[in-house]
């Protein structure tokens, strides 16, 4: 399976938007349904994905009770509340069952309203890696990952702000994610543990783009200092 680089339309990209969990620090509300200014939290990601990655496929990992726009599919680990790694696995299985496998998979959290903008930086980093590799070896940009696969390395790109890594903002080739789930169930394990078998490149992103809302104080800070028009 050849892994082509993502173009401006993001054809070949599948996005797993993690929107489950209980949001205990926000009083147990539905985090994706939480009003953040004039919109629900989930709407930020949905709107930005449509604007910035119009050709991408999407699945939202969330309960059926979450109201989503027509045509936006959802899935959920069974049984629910299995942790974020189980949510990623549910999203992976959703795309695996499709008619055509994606070339790339991104993971985003619903509680980072501008996480899609950080994903743009990850995509740019893969293109830079391809440019660097093709300038040093006699192969095309599209084949820059094949050498890594053949050597048993499974590359991925992760958002980072200073020393803070964001395991919920990830981009990787489909083959890398497929390798992770060969070992079996991943219920109740952390994303840091899940990603530990990957060759992860840290990509600096804007603190505002990676900012996640976990507490009422986070929400107030976002509305006062980060939210854009």
Q: How far is CA 97 from the centre of its chain?
A: 19
Query: Is 207 in contact with 225 (CB distance < 8 Å)?
Result: no
Q: In whole angstroms, what is the distance from residue 20 CA to residue 31 CA?
A: 8
Domain boundaries, the chain: 13-226
pTM comes to 0.93
Residue 119: helix, strand or coil by DSSP? helix
Task: For the chain, 229 residues long, give each residue's pLDDT as a single digit of tens.
Answer: 556 777 767 789 999 999 987 777 787 788 999 999 999 999 999 999 999 999 999 999 999 999 999 999 999 999 998 999 999 999 999 999 998 999 999 999 999 999 999 999 999 999 888 877 665 555 555 566 776 676 777 999 999 999 999 999 999 999 999 999 998 889 999 999 999 999 999 999 999 999 999 999 999 999 999 998 7
Q: In whole angstroms, what is the distance from residue 137 CA to residue 43 CA?
A: 43
Residue 33: helix, strand or coil by DSSP? coil
Q: What is the pLDDT of residue 218?
A: 96
Q: What is the pLDDT of residue 120?
A: 97
Query: Is 217 in contact with 112 (CB distance < 8 Å)?
Result: no
Q: What is the pLDDT of residue 202?
A: 98
Q: Selecting from 3.40.50.880, 3.90.550.10, 3.40.50.1220, 3.40.50.11240, what CATH number does the domain 13-226 have?
A: 3.90.550.10
Q: In whole angstroms, what is the distance from residue 175 CA to residue 218 CA?
A: 35
Strands (E), the chain: 13-18, 35-36, 39-40, 57-61, 74-75, 104-109, 155-161, 164-173, 199-204
């Amino acid at each position: 399976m050849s892994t082509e680089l993502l173009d401006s339309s993001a054809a070949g990209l599948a996005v797993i938007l993690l929107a489950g969990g209980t949001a205990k620090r926000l009083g147990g509300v539905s985090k994706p349904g939480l009003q953040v200014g004039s919109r629900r939290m989930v709407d930020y990601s949905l709107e930005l994905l449509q604007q910035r990655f119009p050709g991408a496929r999407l699945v939202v990992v969330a309960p059926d009770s979450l109201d989503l726009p027509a045509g936006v599919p959802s899935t959920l680990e069974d049984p629910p509340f299995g942790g974020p790694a189980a949510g990623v696995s549910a999203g992976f299985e959703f795309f695996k069952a499709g008619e055509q496998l994606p070339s790339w998979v991104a993971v985003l959290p619903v509680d980072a309203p501008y996480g899609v903008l950080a994903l743009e930086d990850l995509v740019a980093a893969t293109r830079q890696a391809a440019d660097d590799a093709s300038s040093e070896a006699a192969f095309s940009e599209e084949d820059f990952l094949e050498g890594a696969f053949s050597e048993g390395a499974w590359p991925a790109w992760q958002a980072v702000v200073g020393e803070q890594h964001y395991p919920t903002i990830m981009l990787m080739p489909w083959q890398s994610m497929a390798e992770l789930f060969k070992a079996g169930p991943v219920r109740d394990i952390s994303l840091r543990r899940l990603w530990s078998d990957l060759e992860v490149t840290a990509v600096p992103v804007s603190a505002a783009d990676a900012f996640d809302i976990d507490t009422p104080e986070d929400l107030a800070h976002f509305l006062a200092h980060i939210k854009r028009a």
